[in-house]
Structure 1
Amino acid sequence: MSPKSVPEGIWADQPFKLLDTPGKDKPLSDPVVYVASHMALVHNTFIRALNSIYLHAPLIAPGNKSLARDMLTYCQCWVALVALHHQAEENFLFSAFEKRIPAAKGILATNVRQHDEFHSGLDAFKKYVEIALAGGEPYCSEKLLKLVDAFSEPLMKHFADEIPTLMRMQEAGQIEEVMKIHEEFEVIVRKDIDASKVGPMTLLNADKTFEGGKHPFPVMPKFVPYLIKYLVSRKYAGAWKFGSCDYWGQPVTLFMNTPEGKQALKAGNE
């Protein structure tokens, strides 16, 4: 994909495949179905954002300093979002399930081990992005995507595998405890959040129309999207053009296929 090629009609549901939720054909009133579906929706937010990186990055020439910096910032915010999620899993979620639901012991073992399979790749991606943003290395889309390719396979496998694992909590019983642990996990994530990075990145890649719009994700008071759009998003304002949705969860045309985006790519790449 050369810097001058702008694929028409594609969206952030590719190249990495979005996950179906258990709630697609099961009642969300079941706590385990709800928790597993919520996790799939969280993972899909990460996947759409990574897809938007994968689709936009090759179109930005090294000399297009403004767009390159915005893309690197977007990548930095994506890393912050994924790291926050996985740290909360490692520090609380996985151990809480095993300690408080004895019959669940061992169910999550594979998912815990999978974190080790992509950590080094994510760290290398983060390091390159930070160095490039600091001016220590030039923007290079080939290197950026090569780093993504190094961790994407184990990361996508982990995202997919975690959903059926959570559904196995039905075998362990104590399904109400599953919901309590999930709620505590959400509190921990919100407590440690860097809102200026994570808030916009989440909203701008959370498709509320997914699977017919049956999933209220992310769940928040109605005023919060306004707060994030008009206040919280200012710090990294240039990055958010690459999001796949608006602040209210409606899919939007990807930046590279908008008139504004085509002009910015053309002007900066010449």
Structure 2
Amino acid sequence: MEKPFKKMEEQIPKASEPTSAAAPKQEDQELPKLSPQEFRIYNRMAEHMDMFHENFRRTWNLLYGACESKKRPAGMSIRQFIGVGDDFCHHLTIHHTIEERHIFPILARKMPAFKKELELLTQHKQIHNGLDKFEEYLGQCRSGEKELRMEEMKAILDTFGKVLWQHLDDEVHELRAENMRRYWTPAEMARIPI
């Protein structure tokens, strides 16, 4: 069975193929103002990504706020609270997996920030080092092996919180209209699968 993104990937020009946006322009070079329609085309990915990121921010704030106050949110059982943490880990892992397998390889053809050795993927690795520990801790609490202690949970969240929040901002910043237009044509933007 053919992968659903395969056809789209084949339609998107390789970085070596000439397009009007093939060569990245200097960051400080003034470009003509975008029309509202052009802005929507170029900013689509940033808005879409920020929607997902906002959900991660909200869930993080719920979890971290409980750790700081040393109290679960009102009306939430321990089981529900651990479930929120499990969902956070699961959804963030799926989100990053989709990015790494289907989105970043396309963007990396023209955009240096999405190449494997650079910051955004390095941030993914740093986040998942902490996320793995968080998942393990939640599993131990769920099984009864450990008692849920907010100070322990906060210490684990602190190991990757700063890089997570930086990453959520950096990724959207790279996908903003003013940056995307430096690398892609409107027709190419329409074919990027997000």
The two structures share one fold, judged by TM-score above 0.5: yes
What are the residue-to-residue correspondences of 1:80-229 with 2, within 5 Å?
80-98=90-108, 102=109, 104-109=110-115, 110-167=119-176, 168-183=179-194
Structure 1 vs Structure 2: percent identity of aligned residues? 23
Partners of 1:50 and 1:170 lie apart in 2 by 32
Amino acid aligned to 2:161: S
Unaligned runs of 5+ in 1: 1-25, 61-65, 184-270
For 1:88 and 1:56, how far apart are their aligned partners in 2? 29
Amino acid of the structure 2 residue aligned with 1:113: T
- Between the two proteins, the alignment pairs up a number of residues equal to 149
Task: Name the aligned partner's letter for residue 39 of structure 1.
Answer: M
- d(CA) in 1 for partners of 2:149, 2:161: 18
Q: Matches of 2:50 and 2:143 in 1, distance apart?
A: 34
How big is the shift at 1:113? 2.1
Where structure 2 has 5 or more consecutive residues not aligned to the other structure, the ranges are 1-34
- Counterpart of 1:95 in structure 2: which amino acid? P
Q: CA deviation at 1:175?
A: 3.2
RMSD of aligned C-alpha atoms? 2.0
TM superposition shift of 1:41: 1.7
Work out the CA distance in 1 between the residues paired with 2:113 and 2:182.
10
Residues 87 and 149 of structure 1: CA distance in aligned 2, closer, same or farther (over 3 Å): same
Give the deviation of 1:105 after TM superposition: 3.9
Q: Contact 2:66–2:150 (CA<8 Å) still a contact in 1?
A: no
Pick aligned residue for 2:62 from 52, 58, 69: 52
The ranges of structure 1 where at least 4 consecutive aligned residues each deviate by more than 3 angstroms after the TM superposition are: 26-29
| TM-score when normalising by structure 1 | 0.51
TM-score normalized by the length of structure 2: 0.70
Aligned ranges 1:215-254 → 2 under 5 Å: none
Preserved CA contact (<8 Å) 2:114 2:121: yes
Give the aligned residue type for 2:106.
A
SS in 2 for 1:182: coil
Superposition map of 1:3-18 within 5 A: none
Q: Which has the larger radius of gyration?
A: 2
